[in-house]
Amino acid sequence: MAEWKDRERPDTAVLFDVDGTLTPARRPVSKEVLEVLKDLRKKVVIGFVGGSDISKQQEQLGARVIEDFDFAFAENGLTAYRLGKQLSSQSFIGWLGEEKYANLANFILRYIADLDIPRKR
C-alpha cells in the first residue's frame, strides 16, 4: 500500500468494466468519464477489466491507459498491469495443458448437449 499512501483511501480499489460501463460498447471513452476517473484516482486505487486485448482497450480508453489506471486487466484478466508494468501472465490452456483442456471441453460440450431444457439455442 505504500505506492498509494497519497490517496485518501489507499486500502480501497475500484474496478470498472470497459464496454458498457466506462464506454459504450466498442466506442471511445468520453472526456467527462476520464475527468471523473482522474479525480477518483486521487481518492482510491482504480483499475479496469475488459475482454479485449490491451491494444483495443487503448483505442477505447486512450493510449496512456496503462499509466492512467493503477491496475489494468485485459483479455478477461489473462494480461494484467500494475502501476504501468505488465505482470506475469498465463493462459488457461497453457496452464492446464492441451490434452486436459481437450478432455474438459469435450466433457462440457457433452454435458450441455445432454441437458434437458425447453429450448436450446
* Exposure of 60 in the CB half-sphere (CA atoms within 13 A): 22
* Catalytically annotated residue among 17, 39, 68, 70: 17
Rounded to whole angstroms, how far apart are CA atoms 104 and 98? 10
Is residue 116 among the annotated active site residues? no
Beta strand pairing call for 85-86 and 79-82? antiparallel
Is residue 114 among the annotated active site residues? no
* Catalytically annotated residue among 19, 68, 70, 116: 19
DSSP H or E segment with residue 18: none
Length of the chain: 121
CB atoms within 10 A of CB 97: 10
Of residues 29, 26, 25, 28, the one with CA closest to residue 37: 29
Catalytic residues, by residue number, are 17, 19
